[in-house]
Structure 1
Amino acid sequence: MFDRRMMIKGAGAAVGLAMTAKSYARIQGANDRLRVAVVGINGRGQAHMSAFTKVPNVEVTHLVDVDAAVLAKRADEFAGRGNARPRTERDYRRLLAGKDVDIITVATPDFSHAKIGVDAMNAGKHVYLEKPIGIAPAEGEALIAAQKRTGRVLQVGNQQRSSKETRQLLDMVRSGELGEVYEAQTWYANNRKSIGKGQVAAPPPTLDWDLWQGPRPRGQYRTNLVHYNWHWFWKYGTGEICNNAMHELDIARWMMGVAYPRTVSARGARNFFQGDDWEMYDTLALDLNYDDDRVIRWNGQSCNAMRTYGRGRGVLLLGTKGSAVVDRNGFELYDLAGKMVREVKAPAESETTGTVGEGALDVYHAGNFVDVIRGKQQALASPIQEGHVSTTLCHLGNMAYRTDAMLSVDPATGRPSSADAMKLWSVEYEPGWEIRA
């Protein structure tokens, strides 16, 4: 049980979740039709709804959202596409005690991801959890502890790990085709607009404001906060780095075979719309420095959509024998003279910089998750241990930015030596909403 200042020790950079076929067979209902409840359906949850309807012998039976207007709209849309009309619910906790849901997918705001995920596993449900996995690193540690104790299957929603093309490139990197990969450059570019100046007001009648806040200490409703702009407020959001960099940082460190760095530095600023309520940077340069002078870099541009290598997001791998550029839709190989020598494109495209992010990779990722539940595959594409490392890299970037310091990091645990940074390792909770792993 965790108090309001949750701290969990001993969760390191473990490798992927693996279980024996016999242990899969013991999962209750493994061979039955799996019933899915999608929690949080205004944005990314729409991709969950679509993906799980395309997985064999799986049915989306419940939609959950704290906004009644959103809930009614999505239920109508879902039924209008020929699906059985789902049951609707405002509070996810009402689904936990029943036996009519096997899987809970979580696409709510970042600050409630870990709470819902832990609660669902404690109730015996399998969980598909959007990134970032939590608002602070301690929440990732809680998820690892809960998954280990309950034995439930927990897939993190960084869907590019299910890309056949990305995995093909991974095999090539591991076989030495690029030589020693000494640097990865990653980026994200968008042209987000001003969020303006909000006002304290009564919440809309369709929105359960108390329930929307979930585990965060209670505050007043503001007119420019819901449904998306909470991303840019420190109380509720995790910035562009957790919102988007987690995808590319995850692929970069996967390709390079690294986990936590030794030092982290970040330079950021609010360069656009400086008079609005946006609390965070809109521009951030991150450096993660590893042993042997290896480095992963991220360049985040929230309000300047200048593309790199023709892409709004992606990863450049620099090696001693060649280089590669990879994103969700394929990769390109280059020789040391910078000449492209090979191009591989995905047969079906996935969205890159939109807020829903829907595409073929969602179906592959959901399919892998379901196959592990049923025992048809042994390894998750993105187990919680791996998702925790990649999410923590993003949190460390925020810590370096907020403390205005280069952080020295324990490469075994990801914990910074800075006392100021460690104050951000965990968060306080609204009484009654503590996480119990």
Structure 2
Amino acid sequence: MLNRRTVIKGAGATLGMAMSARSYARIKGANDRLRVAVIGVNGRGQAHMSAFTKLPNVAVTHLVDVDSKVLAKRAGEFAAKGNPAPETVHDYRRMLESKAIDVVTVATPDHWHAKLAIDAMDAGKHVYLEKPIGMVPAEGEALIAVQARTGRHLQVGNQQRSSQETRQLADLIRAGELGEIYEAQTWYANNRVSIGRGHEMAPPAHLDWDLWQGPRPRGPYRSNLVPYNWHWFWKYGTGETCNNAMHELDVARWLMGLTYPKTVSARGSRRFYRGDDWEMYDTLALDLVYADGRTIRWDGNSCNGMERYGRGRGVLFLGTKGSAIVDRNGFELFDLAGKPLRKVVAAASSETTGTVGEGALDVYHAGNLVDVIRGRTNALASPIREGHISTTLCHLGNIAYRTGSVLTLDATTGRPSSPEGMKLWSVDYEPGWEVKA
């Protein structure tokens, strides 16, 4: 099992026992090497490439992207670091035909996540799937069914589940160190800029716009949509809640031992750059209230980077014996008077608010999937059923915001009781590109 002692501290953290990918072919057991294909290499996919390359006897052999310019650039950068030149693939379907690939990682825009993961599992591949796991909760339900049917391993990319420091805090909470945890306050702060006013135009020659749209109904290309601003359009994105709240809400409910709340409410608005094309909130307060009265709150500020407790993101747990603050890089304990009692700092750091988000946790999380595939452990850090619950909490925040209502949920499935809420539980697809189990 990977642990923090195997990672050297720093932004470019590498496994202490790692060697260059070129060396793998010369070591005993190279024929047992796991071969990885990364789909979507413009943003978060770079962290996937880096993490899997650092694992012993694992090789990134294929890069997949619908943008030929980005694909060539990333392949060149990868080879320049001393790695064997990867095969570049334009259409993921051709890649899935290869029996030489064991693991597929998905780091595309949100609207592709569930479709790619399902097709990969059906092709016999194991999957590392970025959050959110889908555009809507129904896609998470489909992923659970396909994973059970195929028996493939599916790791959801909420990498803080592989943090040894967060797991240490979880043990302390279970042991009663903080008493009863009655509330978790979570937050995210960034200073995103305006996306401006775009216009419809012909897509650039290096981008396959039809394939980029994939499962979504076809529409015109827009000048300010690709590569990142799709996050803020309802047709392709899921907003800051699914983009970032997923991490902290997941940690909060995990350490509190919670699943679906009784009610979900959200107050959000566009406070900055109101004249641009950003369709969603940039400021949102999300409240999850559980049947026993415990609460989880997320405060999202996309365009106001004011930190809390010196952190751009994190979780504050309030307990009857004390409190704790945790983020990707460690935790702190406090008594009821707010006096610091203990501070634990991660041995190797991880990025917190950048768009690539690279760090040591990526290596741990990817390593956990590899260990499960090789039979060294049976426990995925973030299996699909857990990832679905946490992703659904984020979708429910969006649904509450979009319907302007307080949602009352089925505690077993997370489904809202209102017909208006259930209308947003699923989406329509381009014919022939449906996401289904």
Could you tell me the TM-score, scaled by structure 1's length? Answer: 0.93
Give the deviation of 1:236 after TM superposition.
0.4
- Residue 16 of structure 1 corresponds to none
Matched, 1:127 2:103: no
One-letter code aligned to 2:410: D
- State how far apart, in whole Å, the 1-side matches of 2:436 and 2:419 are: 25
Matched, 1:281 2:317: no
Give the deviation of 1:30 after TM superposition.
13
Distance 1:30-1:320 versus aligned 2 partners, 3 A rule: farther
- Residue 8 of structure 1 corresponds to none
- Residue 161 of structure 2 corresponds to 161
- Residue 339 of structure 1 corresponds to 339
- Residue 435 of structure 1 corresponds to 435
Q: Is the 8 A contact 2:106 2:129 kept in 1?
A: yes
Structure-to-structure mapping, 1:84-233, within 5 angstroms: 84-233=84-233
Q: Is the 8 A contact 1:31 1:374 kept in 2?
A: no
Q: Is the 8 A contact 2:30 2:57 kept in 1?
A: no
- Cα deviation 1:247-298 (Å, max 9, x = unaligned): 0000000010000000000000000000000000000000000022100000
Q: SS of the residue aligned with 2:377?
A: coil
Matched, 1:242 2:224: no
- State how far apart, in whole Å, the 2-side matches of 1:189 and 1:302 are: 6
One-letter code aligned to 2:378: Q
Q: Is the 8 A contact 2:139 2:436 kept in 1?
A: no
Matched, 1:371 2:381: no
Give the deviation of 1:31 after TM superposition.
8.5
- State how far apart, in whole Å, the 2-side matches of 1:409 and 1:311 are: 32
Unmatched runs of 5 consecutive residues or more in structure 1:
1-28
One-letter code aligned to 1:340: P
What's the C-alpha RMSD, in Å, of the aligned pairs?
A: 1.0
Q: Is the 8 A contact 2:269 2:283 kept in 1?
A: yes
- Cα deviation 1:75-106 (Å, max 9, x = unaligned): 00000000000000011111112201111000
Matched, 1:316 2:350: no
- State how far apart, in whole Å, the 2-side matches of 1:335 and 1:81 are: 48
Matched, 1:51 2:34: no
- State how far apart, in whole Å, the 2-side matches of 1:90 and 1:198 are: 27
Give the deviation of 1:32 after TM superposition.
1.8
- State how far apart, in whole Å, the 1-side matches of 2:32 and 2:143 are: 26
One-letter code aligned to 2:283: T
One-letter code aligned to 1:125: K
One-letter code aligned to 1:32: D
Q: SS of the residue aligned with 2:337?
A: coil
Percent sequence identity over aligned pairs? 77
- State how far apart, in whole Å, the 1-side matches of 2:225 and 2:292 are: 44
Q: How many residues align?
A: 409
- Residue 72 of structure 2 corresponds to 72
Q: Is the 8 A contact 1:30 1:375 kept in 2?
A: no
- Cα deviation 1:155-190 (Å, max 9, x = unaligned): 000000000000000000001000000000000000
Q: Is the 8 A contact 2:143 2:384 kept in 1?
A: yes
Unmatched runs of 5 consecutive residues or more in structure 2:
1-28
- State how far apart, in whole Å, the 2-side matches of 1:349 and 1:325 are: 16
- State how far apart, in whole Å, the 1-side matches of 2:93 and 2:391 are: 25
Q: SS of the residue aligned with 1:268?
A: strand
Q: SS of the residue aligned with 2:249?
A: helix
Give the deviation of 1:347 after TM superposition.
1.0
Q: SS of the residue aligned with 1:217?
A: coil
One-letter code aligned to 2:329: N
- State how far apart, in whole Å, the 1-side matches of 2:253 and 2:168 are: 16
- Cα deviation 1:322-355 (Å, max 9, x = unaligned): 0000000000000000011000000111000000
- State how far apart, in whole Å, the 2-side matches of 1:309 and 1:291 are: 29
One-letter code aligned to 1:77: E
One-letter code aligned to 1:69: K
Q: Is the 8 A contact 1:30 1:373 kept in 2?
A: no
- Residue 35 of structure 2 corresponds to 35
Q: SS of the residue aligned with 1:292?
A: coil
- Residue 20 of structure 2 corresponds to none
- State how far apart, in whole Å, the 2-side matches of 1:333 and 1:213 are: 46
- Residue 292 of structure 2 corresponds to 292
One-letter code aligned to 2:286: L
- State how far apart, in whole Å, the 2-side matches of 1:236 and 1:344 are: 39
Moved over 4 A (4+): none
One-letter code aligned to 1:240: E
One-letter code aligned to 1:98: S
- Cα deviation 1:229-259 (Å, max 9, x = unaligned): 0000000000000000000000000010000
- Residue 384 of structure 1 corresponds to 384
- Residue 418 of structure 1 corresponds to 418
Matched, 1:351 2:327: no
Q: Is the 8 A contact 1:52 1:363 kept in 2?
A: yes
Q: SS of the residue aligned with 2:299?
A: strand
- State how far apart, in whole Å, the 2-side matches of 1:96 and 1:357 are: 27
Give the deviation of 1:436 after TM superposition.
3.4
- State how far apart, in whole Å, the 2-side matches of 1:63 and 1:98 are: 13
- State how far apart, in whole Å, the 2-side matches of 1:253 and 1:350 are: 21
Q: Is the 8 A contact 2:267 2:284 kept in 1?
A: yes
- Cα deviation 1:115-137 (Å, max 9, x = unaligned): 00000000000000000000000
Q: SS of the residue aligned with 1:144?
A: helix
- Residue 26 of structure 1 corresponds to none
